[in-house]
Amino acid sequence: MSFAKRFQDSLGSLYSPAENSQYVVAYSGGLDSHVLLHCFKQLNVAMRAVHVHHGLQVIADDWVEHCQQTCNQLGVQLDTLYVDAQAKAGTSPEEAARNARYQALHENLKKGECLVTAQHKDDQAETLLLQLFRTASTAGLSAMPANKTFGDHMHIRPLLSFSRQEIEVYARENSLQWVEDPSNQDTSYDRNFLRKDILPLLQRRWPGVSSQLAMVAELQSNNLRVLEDMAAIDLANTISTAQTQSKAFVYDLISSLSISRLRQLSSSRLLNLLRYWIISTLDQQPTRNLLHEIERTLINSQRDANPEVAFYDFVFRRFQGDIYLLRKSNARELQYEIEWNPGSPISIERPDIRLQVVDSKGGGLKRDLLDKTFTIRSRKGGEKFHPSGRRHSQSLKKLLQEATIPPWERDVIPLVYLGDELIAVAGLWVSKEYSVAEGEDGWMIKVESV
């Protein structure tokens, strides 16, 4: 079967474009992406090309010119994206360039477009070895998927079943010209070291090693799908529907899991579930250390402990037998005090909440209070409160505990004062002294996150 027919079959197996959609080819100007671009042009499908200028090479401007000339000859639209790919502390140059490149590509994609990149079988073998040396899990050892979601788009690699040698032969047969990145010769980079020094040595002993390594990656990918299927079943069995979920006022509650049901799983199965939960919920890849920390500090620790585990802009907390995944907030560090006329809604920055008046049938605050000016402030500790419907006043702390308000919410729930008197806890209770008579209609204060 010809190279072109194999490419067409590979493309068709990976993605079925919808009407009015098109392919976006990541075109560096190098051998692999030039072959990819040329193959697409032969198919006469809707497409455009994107070149990312990393600013890392003196001759990078020459590459832009080469790519533009090539696309002009082929009649392909080319967009050039300029990025800052300088490595920051704790990030390798390769990782910094890759992250900057994919972020730029993602931001450039339009609705209905599919990203196409030119990684091939030898790249897959290199990736597997790199992941192996990093003690990667099954997910890492599955290397690069042939197709995957990319935000709201798809990302496909139709050359993944082709060897570097096959791609070189195709380029020569079609008289293609490409640029060479001098950094590809620098064996101080791990991937180049594998490509230049290690894989040729392995190939002399085992000529089919690249294909064999690519097959291992495919097998691991199959194993990963089984693990994810199992994790999806476990997630459905452990997801929590606790009433506390409806009582989030300030912190953005994303999801929660039942600890008692998590403890019924073996450690390996538990870690598999946690990984799947985090990826499917946050679209972030957790480290092995993070998963073990969640298991140790949130699932297996003493019940009276109050730990938390941070992860990027999120935090995992434990409360009332559940693990909560929350968006991070600086709210707990805040003390606020604001004057408010209930005639109009009010927004409070950090903790990013909005208060507004809503009608209350058969209860709530007295109507004549709507003309008053209130003070909205955060909890300081030691407050006493007498809710409507209760015989006696109690400490606010105890009331919040009885209402199963999570600890991270208690200090930031808005308290409503008229002068020095606490007349309402926004979203929860109104004072007995300032509430309407039984059966009368009043008003309440609704709290929303913004």
pLDDT tens-digit map of 409-439: 888 889 999 999 999 998 889 999 999 888 8
What pLDDT, on the 0 to 100 scale, is given for residue 448? 78
Structure token digits, residue 170: 């195709």
- For residue 84, the model assigns a pLDDT of 86
Mean pLDDT, rounded, of the chain = 90
Q: Is the pLDDT of residue 194 over 70?
A: yes
Contact 267, 288 (CB under 8 A): no
> Are 15 and 147 spatial neighbours (Cβ–Cβ below 8 Å)?
yes
Helix boundaries (H) for 75-119: 93-108
What pLDDT was estimated at residue 406? 87
The pLDDT score that the predictor gives to residue 197 is 96
Would residue 199 be called left, alpha or beta, if left means φ above 0 and alpha means ψ between -120 and 50 degrees?
A: alpha
CATH of region 3-216, choose from 3.90.105.10, 3.40.50.300, 3.30.2320.80, 3.40.50.620: 3.40.50.620
Mean pLDDT of 122-134: 95
CATH 3.40.640.10 fits 239-327, yes or no: no
- In one-letter notation, the amino acid at residue 186 is D
Cα gap 36→262, rounded to integer Å: 46
Q: How far apart are CA 102 and CA 108, in angstroms?
A: 10
Which of residues 130 and 438 earns the better pLDDT score? Answer: 130
Report the b/e string of 354-392 with b at 16+ CB within 10 A: ebebeebeebbbbeebeeeebebbbbeeebebbbbeeee
Per-residue pLDDT band at 246 (split at 50, 70, 90): very low
In the DSSP assignment, the letter for residue 271 is H
Lowest pLDDT segment from 8-22, 163-177, 244-258: 244-258
Q: Which residue in 307, 320, 286, 323 sits closest to 406, CA to CA?
A: 320
Write the pLDDT tens digit of every residue in 18-41.
878 899 999 999 999 999 999 999
Task: Give the pairing type, strands 337-340 and 322-327.
Answer: unpaired
Alpha helices in 283-322 (DSSP H): 288-294
Write down the pLDDT at residue 329: 67
Beta carbons within 8 Å of 447's beta carbon, 6+ residues apart: 249, 353, 354, 355, 413, 414, 426, 427
β-bridge partners, 448: 354
Listed in order, the ranges of the chain carrying CATH 1.20.59.20 are 239-327
- CATH 3.40.50.620 in the chain, residue ranges: 3-216
Q: Sorting pLDDT into bands at 50, 70 and 90, what band is 331?
A: low
CA 179/CA 28 separation, integer angstroms: 9
Q: What is the pLDDT of residue 20?
A: 80
- The H or E element spanning position 114 is strand 113-116
